[in-house]
């Protein structure tokens, strides 16, 4: 049976219509930000330039796509409908009457739905991994820059060691199916996921150690929430069964955090060395504040500008890394709808069909572009101050 097709303009209209929850959410958020932009500090200033608006728009677009993925996509991203194998864009699926908007791939899955669901994987792993890398980098970079000397030499040597590894080799060594039988990923996860807990405990302790009414609540909250997530992520022993991560996803997560935290470390170290010569740091030292109070409450807040810009760029870079992992078939399941895996599958068959390759490539590119534009305009705005 020959599949029925809808026309090109009908495809475009249908795609736009499919994204309706995204447009609605975008209109609300962008409209609200525009009205209140005077009150929104740095975020509000983004709306002063075209580049900034474009960056916010693209990032929010993919964020909402990830949130509303189940509403937007007409088909199951893993579901195969044999009759739709290798169909061109706009083919109508006879049973449900719905359309394979961007065609079907070699396993007869809907390319459009896979692209939409792929955004979920990327938007969960990339920001979370960047967050952990920031925690690790900040917690180690602050003392290295502040104390200097031996601590600095040792930590810098370790950071340079990791940075000297070509990323791809690191991934081939750390993200193999075999390594999940060894305790290495879990040990690394155990170390990395400890950093946020340490960070927040020290953060609250240095500030509120003389105020028992606050300190016990904050520390208790950190330890309970942190410990709960820690149990769930590292040991998969969450008593409530909410926090759960697949072993192969944990493996990817750990590898990405491992690869990008030395970069954060270097930036934080450099910024700390610069800021510790300022007068307000000297003032705090004269007041007799503890070194960690100065690092976390005097230096870190003043280093936030470059760190925010770097975080934006780093999320984009992590997205590229995830795509690389998918492209080499490392870690993620072979049928996973993430963009890298989709690009790998499609690029092998470019000679016969090109339509499955384009949606994931354009999706990945546009998301990273959005983040880069955001970072660029954030940098420009923070330089104006």
| Interacting residues toward other proteins by CB under 8 A | 51, 157, 160-161, 163-169, 172-174, 176-179, 181-182, 184, 316, 320, 323-324, 327-328, 340, 343-344, 346-347, 350-351, 354, 357-358, 361, 364-365, 368-369, 371-373, 376
Provide the minimum distance between the beta carbon of 347 and other proteins in the complex, in angstroms, as a whole number.
Answer: 5
Comparing CB distances to other proteins, the nearer of 46 and 142 is 46
Is residue 4 helix, strand or coil? strand
Comparing CB distances to other proteins, the nearer of 33 and 49 is 49
Half-sphere exposure of 174 (CA within 13 A, CB side): 26
Nearest to 118 by CA among 285, 267, 333, 379: 333
Cα angle: 13, vertex 14, 17; to 5 degrees:
85
Provide the minimum distance between the beta carbon of 357 and other proteins in the complex, in angstroms, as a whole number.
Answer: 5
Provide the minimum distance between the beta carbon of 373 and other proteins in the complex, in angstroms, as a whole number.
Answer: 6
Provide the minimum distance between the beta carbon of 267 and other proteins in the complex, in angstroms, as a whole number.
Answer: 15
Helix ranges restricted to H, 178-290: 184-192, 194-208, 212-230, 247-275, 279-287
Comparing CB distances to other proteins, the nearer of 176 and 248 is 176
Other CB atoms within a 10 A radius of the CB of residue 89 amount to 21
Half-sphere exposure of 209 (CA within 13 A, CB side): 9
Provide the minimum distance between the beta carbon of 32 and other proteins in the complex, in angstroms, as a whole number.
Answer: 27
Half-sphere exposure of 296 (CA within 13 A, CB side): 19
Nearest to 341 by CA among 355, 318, 361: 361
Provide the minimum distance between the beta carbon of 169 and other proteins in the complex, in angstroms, as a whole number.
Answer: 6
Comparing CB distances to other proteins, the nearer of 99 and 368 is 368
- Rounded distance between C-alpha atoms, residue 362 and residue 148, angstroms: 45
Comparing CB distances to other proteins, the nearer of 24 and 350 is 350
Comparing CB distances to other proteins, the nearer of 38 and 351 is 351
Would you put residue 338 in left (φ > 0), alpha (ψ -120 to 50) or beta?
beta
H or E element at residue 59: helix 50-67
Q: At what angle do helices 304-327 and 339-347 cross, to 10 degrees?
A: 40
Comparing CB distances to other proteins, the nearer of 5 and 327 is 327
Provide the minimum distance between the beta carbon of 304 and other proteins in the complex, in angstroms, as a whole number.
Answer: 21
């Amino acid at each position: 049976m020959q599949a029925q097709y809808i026309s090109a303009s009908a495809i475009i209209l249908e795609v736009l219509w499919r994204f309706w929850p995204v447009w609605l959410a975008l209109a609300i958020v962008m409209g609200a930000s525009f009205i209140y932009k005077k009150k929104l500090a740095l975020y509000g200033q983004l709306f002063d330039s075209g580049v900034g608006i474009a960056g916010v728009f693209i990032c929010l677009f993919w964020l909402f796509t990830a949130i509303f993925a189940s509403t937007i996509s007409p088909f199951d991203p893993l579901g195969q409908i044999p009759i739709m194998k290798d169909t061109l864009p706009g083919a109508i699926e006879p049973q449900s009457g719905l359309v394979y908007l961007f065609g079907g791939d070699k396993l007869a899955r809907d390319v459009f739905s896979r692209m939409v669901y792929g955004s979920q994987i990327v938007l969960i792993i990339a920001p979370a991994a960047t967050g952990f890398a920031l925690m690790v980098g900040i917690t180690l970079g602050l003392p290295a820059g502040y104390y200097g000397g031996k601590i600095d030499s040792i930590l810098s040597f370790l950071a340079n060691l990791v940075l000297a590894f070509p990323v791809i080799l690191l991934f081939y060594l750390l993200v193999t199916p075999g390594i999940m039988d060894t305790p290495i990923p879990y040990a690394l996860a155990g170390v990395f996921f400890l950093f946020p807990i340490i960070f927040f405990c020290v953060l609250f302790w240095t500030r509120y150690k003389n105020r028992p009414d606050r300190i016990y609540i904050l520390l208790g909250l950190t330890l309970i929430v942190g410990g709960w997530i820690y149990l769930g992520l590292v040991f998969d022993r969450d008593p409530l069964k909410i926090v759960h991560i697949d072993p192969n996803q944990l493996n990817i997560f750990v590898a990405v955090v491992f690869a990008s935290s030395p970069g954060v470390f270097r930036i934080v170290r450099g910024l700390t060395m610069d800021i510790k010569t300022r007068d307000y740091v000297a003032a705090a030292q004269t007041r007799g504040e503890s070194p960690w109070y100065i690092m976390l409450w005097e230096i870190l807040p003043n280093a936030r500008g470059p760190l925010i810009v770097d975080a934006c760029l780093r999320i984009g870079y992590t997205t590229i890394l995830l795509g690389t992992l998918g492209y080499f078939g490392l870690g993620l399941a072979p049928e996973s709808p993430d963009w890298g895996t989709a690009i790998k599958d499609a690029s092998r068959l470019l000679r016969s069909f090109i339509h499955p390759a384009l949606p994931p490539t354009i999706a990945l590119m546009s998301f990273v572009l959005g983040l880069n534009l955001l970072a660029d305009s954030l940098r420009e705005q923070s330089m104006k101050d």
